[in-house]
Structures are given as C-alpha cells and as structure tokens.
Amino acid sequence: HTLETLAEGKVLKGVVKNITDYGAFIDLGGIDGLLHITDMSWGRVGHPSELFKVNDEIDVIVLKYDPATERVSLGHKQLITDPWANVTERYPVGARMAGKVVSLTDYGAFVELEAGVEGLIHVSEMSWSKRVKHPSKILNVGDTVEGMVLGVDPTARRIS
C-alpha cells in the first residue's frame, strides 16, 4: 500500500513487524502503522504477544492517518462486533453465568464472562451465610465462578 491508498476507515491487510509492550507495528507495504494495545481486542490484553506474533498477517482498519507526519494509527477490535452491543440479550437479569475471576478489589471481584465483557460480584453478594471481609478470602484470580446476573447497564458497560 502506498500513502495515496491510506484513508481513515479503510480496512487493510498488514504484517506484524515488531511487538512492544504498548502495541505492534504493522507493515502495510511501504509504511508502518501502530496497532495500540487498547485497539487489539475488546477483552483484557496483558501483552500484545498474547494475541499476535511477528510475521502474522492480520486485518486492520485505519483509525487515524496524518499525511504530514506519515503516522498511521490502526485498529483490530473495531473489525469485530463490540460485545456490549447486544449484551442484554446474552446476559438477561436472573440468568446464571460462569466466568473467570480477572481481578479482586476491596469491594468485589471482576469476572470475565467473555472477551471484553466483565461483571462485578460485589463483596456483599458473595455469600448467603457468612459476611465476607475481603474477596481474596474466598476467591483467587483465575478461579472460575458461577453467579447470577442482577443488573445490566450497556451504556456504562456494567454488569452486576
């Protein structure tokens, strides 16, 4: 691809050239673009190497292009449907769901239901019988837990 064919919103094939802590540089054929870690997936990404390897051929979309500096910002997750788009149908209130504990805080546990969709189990909702002082007393990151959907707010991207 030459500079003339680059335009914001255009979908291109590129080859992963280099991977850093903050993203991956993609060779678009004559010009490199940056695929930032936040634009790789709707889900959590610890490091770009979890998703991509050098020499992988991937589809990307041009998010921003500045012809003056020849800086190209790329996206990958933008080519995949946002998982929050129809979240209320997939996670109706009252439904039982299983997910993986991805982080613990003083006030609860964040559980990944699918890539890009996490729910919070508030500390007050963790046990029927005993008062839980801290989520880490009964859960660990990586545990699979089952819970019930109490509420869904797609606008705020929150599930409880």
Residue 128 sits in which domain range?
87-159
Q: How far apart are CA 57 and CA 145, in angstroms?
A: 36
Same-domain check for residues 96 and 142: yes
Same-domain check for residues 37 and 96: no
Above 60 in pLDDT, residue 94?
A: yes
Same-domain check for residues 64 and 103: no
What's the whole-model pTM score?
0.75
Same-domain check for residues 109 and 151: yes
Above 60 in pLDDT, residue 1?
A: no
Same-domain check for residues 97 and 124: yes
CA-based torsion, 103, 81, 74, 63: positive or negative: negative
Same-domain check for residues 12 and 60: yes
Closest to 72 in 3D by CA, of 145, 153, 2:
2
Q: Looking at residues 147-159, what average pLDDT do you find?
A: 92
pLDDT tens column, 42-51: 988 999 999 9
pLDDT tens column, 33-42: 999 999 999 9
**pLDDT of 9:** 92
Question: How many domains does the chain fold into?
Answer: 2
CATH assignment at residue 20: 2.40.50.140
Same-domain check for residues 48 and 98: no
Q: How far apart are CA 65 and CA 137, in angstroms?
A: 49
pLDDT tens column, 2-36: 566 788 999 999 999 999 999 999 999 889 999 99
Same-domain check for residues 31 and 64: yes
